[in-house]
A = this chain, B = another copy of it.
Amino acid sequence: MFDGILKNVWDKKPLVHCITNYVTVNDCANILLACGASPIMADDAMEVEEISALCSGLALNIGTLNSRTVLSMILAGRKANQLHHPVVFDPVGAGASSLRTRTAKDLIEKVHCTVIRGNGSEIRALFQGACDTKGVDADAADITTEENLDAAVASAKAFSQAVNAVIAVTGAIDIVTNGQKTYLIRNGSPMMEKVSGCGCMLTTVIAAYCAANPDQPLDAAAAAVSVMGLCGELAFQRMKQQNAGTGTLHIALMDAMSCLDIETLDRGIKIEER
C-alpha cells in the first residue's frame, strides 16, 4: 500500500520550503532528508516568495510564531497557491493563546491549505473556535479513542469540507480525511510524545509526500502519517532492546525514517478505510 506514493518521493526528491518554529527546525530538516526530500528554511519576507517558487511544497508551522514570520507565511502561502504547490499547515498551540487561534484562522482564510495537521485540541480550536487548549499537547478530552471515534471522524470530515483541505488529526488513533474518504491509522507509540517535535516533523513529511504526489493529497498525507507512526514503533523497539531512553528514541526515529522500505511499511502499516 502507498508504494507509488513513496516511490515518487524517492524519485523526485522534492525540495520543501519550511517556515517553522525554531524549537524543532533541525529535526524537521533532518527528517525531510531522511524521508528522501530536501529542506530549505527561509523566513524573511523579502525572499520567501522566490524561495517557495523554487520548491515543490511548503510547510507552515506556528510553533514559535511572531509578527515577522506570520507575514512571511502568508506571502509564501499565497505564492505556493498561485503555483499550485501543496501547502501543509501545522497550527501548533491553536487554542492555547488567542494570538495562535486568531493567526491560524487568519492563515487558513488567506492561504488555501492542502493539508492541515494538528492534534485533537488544535483542530477543535480551529473548527469550533474553542480556546481552552492547555499548551501544545492535546487535552485529555480531545484525544481520539475507540469510544469517541465516530464523533471524531464526523467532526474531522465536517472541518475538511468547511475548509476544503485534507485534515489529519493525529493522536492514539490518527484520522486523515478529505471530507469524503477517511483513513484511520493505528500506528505509532505513546512514547513519541516524549520526543519534542514528532508532530512538526510529521507535518514536513506530509509536505514532502504531497509535493511528490500533488494530485493525491489524501493518500500522500495518510502515507506520511502511517510511515511516521511506524517509524515511531520501530524506534520504540530499539529503545527497549537497548534499555535506553528518549535520547535514543529520537535518534532511532531518524534512523527508521532513513532506512524505511516498502516491505517494512507493508508489513507494519495498520490502516483502515472508512
Which of A146-154, A180-188, A254-262 is the interface stretch? A254-262
Asked if residues B197 and A26 are in contact (CB atoms below 8 Å), the reply is yes
User: A93 at the A/B interface (Cβ < 8 Å)?
Assistant: yes
List, in ascending order, chain B residues with CB within 8 A of A63's CB: 41
Cβ of A134 under 8 Å from chain B: yes
Give every chain B residue within 8 A of A258 (Cβ-Cβ). Answer: 194, 245-247
Q: Count chain A residues whose beta carbon lies closer than 8 angstroms to a beta carbon of B.
A: 61
A134 with B27: CB separation less than 8 A: no
Inter-chain contact B54/A135, CB cutoff 8 Å: yes
Q: Tell me whether A68 is interfacial, beta carbon within 8 Å.
A: yes
Mind listing 26 A-B residue pairs with CB under 8 Å? A15-B134, A23-B26, A26-B27, A30-B250, A34-B194, A38-B136, A39-B196, A40-B93, A41-B63, A42-B97, A43-B66, A44-B64, A44-B66, A47-B99, A47-B100, A50-B98, A50-B99, A51-B96, A194-B258, A244-B255, A246-B255, A246-B257, A247-B253, A247-B258, A250-B251, A250-B254
Residue of B nearest to A248 (CB): B255
A158 interface hit (Cβ, 8 Å): no
A195 an interface residue at 8 Å Cβ cutoff?
yes
Q: How far is the CA of A244 from the CA of B99 in the complex (A)?
A: 42
A121-135 CB contacts (< 8 Å) to partner B? 134-135
